Structure 1
Amino acid sequence: MATDQTYKKKVESAINNPKLSEALHLFGDAYLTSRENAFQGRLDFEAMRKDLAEIKDDVRIRRKELLAEFIKNAEAAGSTVFIAKDTQEANEYVINLAKKKNAKLIAKSKSMVSEEAHFNAALEAEGIKTSETDLGEWIIQLAGQRPSHMVMPAIHMFKEEVAELFSKETGQQLSPDIKSLVNVAREQLRKGYFDADIGLTGANFLVADTGGIGLVTNEGNARLCATLPEVHVVFSGIHKLVRSMEDAVKITRLLPRNATGQLLTSYITWIRGAVPTDGKAKEQHIVLIDGGREALYESKACRDALRCIQCGACANVCPVYQTVGGHVFGSTYISAIGVILTAFYEGLDKAKEITRACIGCRSCSAVCPSNIDLEEIILHLRTQVTQEYGMGMIKNVAFKAVMKNRGLFHSMIRAASKLQRPVTHKNAVDGERPIIRHLPMHFMDRDFTEWRDLPSVAEKSFRDQFKGIVQNVKNSRYKVGFFVGCGADFVYPEVGTSLIKVLNALDVEVVFPQKQNCCGIPALYSGDTETGVDLARQNVEAFTEAEVDYILCVCPTCTMGVKRDFVKRLADSPDWSAKARALSEKTMDASDFLENVLHASEKLTGFKPQGTVTYHDSCHLKRGNKVFKEPRALLNAGGYSVEEMKNSDRCCGFGGTYSFLSHPQISKQITTDKVQTIKAVNSKTVAMDCPGCMIMLKGAMGKADPNVRCAHTIELMAEALDGKE
């Protein structure tokens, strides 16, 4: 409990520092533009990251062979190689080396694994001074902090804070002028290279077929640390192995582009053996650290994480990181990759809170140059956390006792539609559709309705309405099964009725298997795999019996549930697995089906002009299902003029139970960003293709500007059909 409270206090503190979030957002926006420009031209990012993943996977498979090759070639070049089982053993090696050399000062260039080892503290406890020579690392060393980003360790600090630190260090009153501060750092650090007895660097590459290392940096300090002192220590994780220089060069084409949007960094340095220093004897010691990496290599579910080349892009695009920063969302390593590495390098206990901090938007997976499905690995770790520490009474009851029991679940929803009446109010934008503007208990109101309206449960669910819907389809082209999802079934049934209207207009018959249940994603995202498996079976059975040509979803998370998660969760059961795969192959998002199977934008013509809309790309629609052009094509064909908002695919902050039970305050900040973006477009309608996003954005806009309507693309298409000329 103490750990939970400490973590929550860190979250509150970060949220109450709006300058931090502002700085990270400004960087994030600039990064997206720089990265896009860096990959323009003939570079194929998808092909490049697929190639990198294959390189890294081969290294994993052949790691013992390649490690032996590296050691052999490094020793042949005059290097001394030491393999440390953990960071403590690595620190002890350097301490003993320093004592043997009577070393008093170690000049360090940037090394994340030294942060992991708490190297500076360990050496200074033995009376050996360490001096960070990377500008960002020196700033946080003076501040007594740890990095908040793998590439830009001091990104969370402002120039005024840096000026104060430098003033204290130099005894001069310095102005917060960046150029002047950089010059001060250069002057202060320069003497250290010459005074240092040992220079320490990390390594971006351990090249097996040469025994050399590679360094990719933007400052010249790494070269100085490696060459000026008489002893050079390379401090590196064993996972930095690559097979050859050819592989290393391929990575250098990706790393700077994906890390900072640069075509190439300022310095790429290749070192093999001890670099001569004015004819003096020189030593190079290469300390290779396991520290949990071998265990990670052996984890079938998580091992892809060691493909990571530490570009930091997963933080650059992460809405949670941009809200609270790296000192909250990570330990030594931050953001999505940091969740995984913390679990293996420091233990699951250290990672339990940050596994729940991930909102599941898949931004990290979309930009990862090593093609790591970071979200999927975090979900696996969340399952382990739930098994070890539980997921709380509310979720236990909701998922295990209620959601698995379809009859009980639906009965409780119907009861809720009646019990909610005392707290609902009419919504001017949606006519008679009631909303919940305030909850009676203050502590709940703060997290739930202080900054957003909540939707009411529909008086009549879609499944109950479906029985009375007449479909006038004479010559049916396809028979499709509708996987409605909880949001469209119980909150926005009008999305389902709109889908039937649009499909019927295109000669498609819709069937609705009444035995279908929740897709199970809420349970899976909370670490409850058992409930997820049970719900997968219920749905696979329901839709297998339906015998349809396609299965359509109006919720992209449900689409991913049927296409991806059912297959994964039922993989160990041959009978269920075959059925799940069969359903997966014919499951599509509704807009994807309308545009790419029915070619609706070509066939539905003659619409009246419907006005301007802006479009929000739902996370799992664009990044999970690769659908983003299709809704826009449908809207344009339906007479709507789409005006793009800035960062249309940035998360809305929903994340299911994330915004209600896990991190409502983080969610609030992410949603506030999206609301400001919507308001900047000055459109009175926001289209989207996810009921979850509708819950979040309808609610937030209800408080921010109740005249802005949020609607599903399918609803807007149905309305266009009603007004067709």
Structure 2
Amino acid sequence: MNKEFKAKIDRAVNNANLTGALGKFSEAYKVNRAKAYEGIDFEELRDRVAGIKSEAAADLDALAAEFQRNAEALGAKVFRTSDPHQVKEYILKVAQEAGVKTVVKSKSMATEEIHLNPYLVKNGISVAETDLGEWIIQLAGQTPSHMVMPAIHLTKEEVAELFSKEVEERLAADIPRLVKVARNELRPKFLAADMGISGGNIAVAETGSIVLVTNEGNARLVTTLPRIHVAVIGVEKLIKEFAGVAPILEALPRSATAQLLTSYVSIISGPTENEDGSPKELHIVLMDNRRSEMAKDPKFKQALQCIRCGSCLNVCPIFRLVGGHVFGDIYTGGIGTILTAWFDELKKSEDIQGLCIQCGNCTQVCPGKIDIPELILEIRRRLVLEQGQPFMQKAIFSVVNNRRMFHGMLRAASLAGKPFTSGKFIRHLPMFLAELTDGRSLPAIADKPFRDQFRDIKQPVCAEKAVFYAGCLMDFAYPEMGVALVKLLNKAGIEVLFPEEQTCCGAPALYNGAYEVAAQNAADNITALLAANARYVVSACPTCTVALAHDFSKTLESVGKTEWLPKAKELAAKTVDLSTLVKRLVDEGRLSFKEGEQLGAVTYHDSCHLKRTLKVFEEPRELLEKAGYQVTEMFECDMCCGMGGSYSIKLPEISAPILQRKLANIKETGARVVAMDCPGCVMQIRGGMDQDGAQVRVQHSVELLVDRIKE
């Protein structure tokens, strides 16, 4: 990540107006979206939307041809091209032949994508944006920061300043007054314009119709008042049948702005007459720009299921800190990163893809069911294939892939860290390492790792056995968690095995695009963990559990090591997270909790991978309550803590404010204990609480449960 980009991040996170505006919207959006979807089966609805869009993406060329036939039969002129420059040339030619001097535009990301406005202005044509947000950023000389709400990053005071300069009058930051000024300024432009340019939310092949969804009515004026209407539409907006419009319209406003329906839905089927009775010109430009190529890519074709609602931005913890001018190019956020890599070039996504923390928030709300984090990992992989791994990263992963060397270095780190260790924390590091302890303390490497302590644990010999996959943190930083796990499972009559050949789960390599390294980690662990032939492979780290149960197969297949797939699937079938297993054992009566003692309030932090990938969130709460704790929910309990593995090391300027927000939410509950099921989250939150000085204990759930189990 280059210095200039890091400087942009720094400016954004220190811009109180920006973070304040985005933070307030994000908080309100979650509540309002839930209300908007009341009574609707969101999963069923997005299955339909994804199906409609996926079917269309599978046959874009045929749908484009069908759309062209039907639209032209209605009197429209349809121009199809794969070249963005040809789109601009076509529109300019239409304008010049008709003597167009002024253009009004409604919101269109497709025209932003090809930089249409400056091209027309350069050729002597005046262009006015008429969407309020687009007009604001046009006055500011900026690009949209959000696909639906382009000026969301600006405060009303900043807008008042822009409007004051435009109308040469000092205006107060009064929203009704500012809206009135905008209306007065824009209305004459509609009436004077020779051409209107719009985008299109949906293009229906069956009827040759285009569908426009707006809140301000400006699109209706753009498409009806000027004598020429040009609609620029990406071919991914095509759907096969008119019946597909309804599900998309049901999902789009609810997901975009948490409205039941937008104010204006316009369906245009062929040109209408002008006021003087002359026929209006309707030109529809179907723009490809690598979309068909994307549709043929087995990984990225799902990105064409996007309906451009922007809900992925609205719930993203990174977007609400840095905004779209940092996290994105023309298209913003996670989906914007993917579109940038395709519609522009892979190289352009190099910096912005690193902003994704892989929390998975976006996957829960996307009405097109796009796995955005997975596609960003694929971008990282392709960047590594194209450019190779950075030298330092390559050196680190070469160590990680050498188990003996890796574990030896961790043991050495225990000794090397002694001068900087106070209690169980490293609170300050020297020189260039100082930033690592800015805002959180780090855990000291244990004097005796779990793998050494395990040999001294006396266990009963049981018929039922479970292999424990510890992961690096629990093995070398938090061995007490591993000891608690062994003790807990022993009480259920399960003997725990610990193969010492187990090594890093490969998540660090996978999340950095180094799939070959991750695949080797997978193969090593499959060999080690299946050798014991136990009933379960249990992990108390959600990231590691996801690796074992989901990622190993995908990673091995992606690098061509298909011979490992049967064993990877066998391992996946045996893998279980600790809370799910303990809940099962309690339900079966094999474990029970001590009764009669109320232990006070505990709040619970949902780890990203546990809740969103493994779908586990009720189980740990039920167990804590059965154990005698009163679970008090915190605000945004399932929002990322900012750890993200190596993310907190690479981007501490983003990780730190996310952590501070999490600490504030925990303290607000009044609970003296916060529980979680992820050692990585423990590292982040416990380290933050240590530097904060708050008297809140941060514990892995296993530590809270083990002593409450009846003997």
Residue 193 (structure 1) shift: 1.1
What is the aligned partner in structure 1 of residue 678 from structure 2?
A: 690
AA at the equivalent of 2:13? I
The answer as to whether partners of 1:501 and 1:718 remain within 8 angstroms in 2 is: yes
**Partner of residue 372 from structure 2, selected from 364, 371, 374:** 374
The answer as to whether partners of 1:601 and 1:634 remain within 8 angstroms in 2 is: no
The more displaced of 459-468 and 334-343 is 459-468
Residue 8 (structure 1) shift: 1.1
Q: Distance in 2 between matches of 1:492 and 1:378?
A: 31
Q: Distance in 1 between matches of 2:672 and 2:83?
A: 58
1:201 aligns with 2:198: yes
**Partner of residue 532 from structure 2, selected from 533, 539, 546:** 546
1:641 aligns with 2:627: no
Q: Distance in 2 between matches of 1:20 and 1:396?
A: 36
Q: Structure 1: state its 5+ residue gaps.
A: 427-433
Q: Distance in 1 between matches of 2:184 and 2:299?
A: 48
The answer as to whether partners of 2:441 and 2:688 remain within 8 angstroms in 1 is: yes
The answer as to whether partners of 1:594 and 1:600 remain within 8 angstroms in 2 is: no
Q: Structure 2: state its 5+ residue gaps.
A: none
AA at the equivalent of 2:510? L
Residue 301 (structure 1) shift: 1.6
Q: Distance in 1 between matches of 2:608 and 2:182?
A: 42
2:707 match: secondary structure: helix
What is the aligned partner in structure 2 of residue 244 from structure 1?
A: 241
- TM-score, normalised via structure 1 length: 0.96
The answer as to whether partners of 2:104 and 2:128 remain within 8 angstroms in 1 is: yes
Residue 393 (structure 1) shift: 3.1
Q: Distance in 2 between matches of 1:488 and 1:246?
A: 53
Residue 670 (structure 1) shift: 1.1
**Partner of residue 485 from structure 1, selected from 459, 467, 471:** 471
What is the aligned partner in structure 1 of residue 215 from structure 2?
A: 218
Aligned-residue Cα RMSD (Å) equals 1.4
The answer as to whether partners of 2:450 and 2:476 remain within 8 angstroms in 1 is: yes
**Partner of residue 451 from structure 1, selected from 439, 456, 471:** 439
What is the aligned partner in structure 2 of residue 57 from structure 1?
A: 54
AA at the equivalent of 1:439? L
Residue 601 (structure 1) shift: 8.7
**Partner of residue 133 from structure 1, selected from 130, 134, 138:** 130
1:656 match: secondary structure: coil
**Partner of residue 336 from structure 1, selected from 334, 337, 345:** 334
The answer as to whether partners of 2:663 and 2:688 remain within 8 angstroms in 1 is: yes
2:318 match: secondary structure: helix
Q: Distance in 1 between matches of 2:132 and 2:701?
A: 49
The more displaced of 544-553 and 644-653 is 544-553
AA at the equivalent of 2:60? R
1:613 aligns with 2:613: no
Q: Distance in 2 between matches of 1:526 and 1:459?
A: 30
1:469 match: secondary structure: coil
AA at the equivalent of 1:16? N
Q: Distance in 1 between matches of 2:587 and 2:228?
A: 68
The more displaced of 382-391 and 486-495 is 382-391
Aligned length: 707
1:509 match: secondary structure: strand
AA at the equivalent of 1:407? R
TM-superposition CA deviations, 1:424-462 (whole Å, max 9, x none) = 001xxxxxxx21010122x421x2112111101111111
Residue 706 (structure 1) shift: 4.2
Q: Judging changes above 3 Å, is the alpha-carbon distance between structure 1 residues 276 and 584 closer, same or farther for their aligned structure 2 residues?
A: same
What is the aligned partner in structure 2 of residue 436 from structure 1?
A: 426
Q: Distance in 1 between matches of 2:668 and 2:178?
A: 36
AA at the equivalent of 1:326? G
TM-superposition CA deviations, 1:105-126 (whole Å, max 9, x none) = 1110000111111111010000
What is the aligned partner in structure 2 of residue 112 from structure 1?
A: 109
TM-superposition CA deviations, 1:56-81 (whole Å, max 9, x none) = 12112222221111110000000000
1:502 aligns with 2:488: yes
- TM-score, normalised via structure 2 length: 0.97
The answer as to whether partners of 1:601 and 1:633 remain within 8 angstroms in 2 is: no
The answer as to whether partners of 1:601 and 1:637 remain within 8 angstroms in 2 is: no
Q: Distance in 2 between matches of 1:711 and 1:473?
A: 29
**Partner of residue 588 from structure 1, selected from 571, 576, 581:** 576
**Partner of residue 44 from structure 1, selected from 35, 41, 44:** 41
Q: How does 1:251-270 map to 2 (within 5 A)?
A: 251-270=248-267
Residue 599 (structure 1) shift: 2.1
TM-superposition CA deviations, 1:513-548 (whole Å, max 9, x none) = 221111000011111111001000001111221111
What is the aligned partner in structure 1 of residue 703 from structure 2?
A: 715
What is the aligned partner in structure 2 of residue 568 from structure 1?
A: 554
What is the aligned partner in structure 2 of residue 27 from structure 1?
A: 25
Q: How does 1:388-537 map to 2 (within 5 A)?
A: 388-400=386-398, 402-426=399-423, 434-441=424-431, 443-445=432-434, 447-472=435-460, 476=463, 478-537=464-523
1:692 match: secondary structure: helix
Q: How does 1:292-331 map to 2 (within 5 A)?
A: 292-331=290-329
2:196 match: secondary structure: strand
1:570 match: secondary structure: helix
TM-superposition CA deviations, 1:278-302 (whole Å, max 9, x none) = 2222110001111121221122121
Residue 470 (structure 1) shift: 1.3
AA at the equivalent of 1:115? E
The answer as to whether partners of 1:226 and 1:275 remain within 8 angstroms in 2 is: no
Q: Judging changes above 3 Å, is the alpha-carbon distance between structure 1 residues 601 and 280 closer, same or farther for their aligned structure 2 residues?
A: farther
Q: Distance in 1 between matches of 2:169 and 2:290?
A: 44
Q: Distance in 2 between matches of 1:52 and 1:249?
A: 9
The more displaced of 644-653 and 567-576 is 567-576
Residue 598 (structure 1) shift: 4.6
The more displaced of 567-576 and 668-677 is 567-576
Q: Distance in 1 between matches of 2:613 and 2:6?
A: 30
The answer as to whether partners of 1:333 and 1:342 remain within 8 angstroms in 2 is: yes
The answer as to whether partners of 1:193 and 1:224 remain within 8 angstroms in 2 is: yes
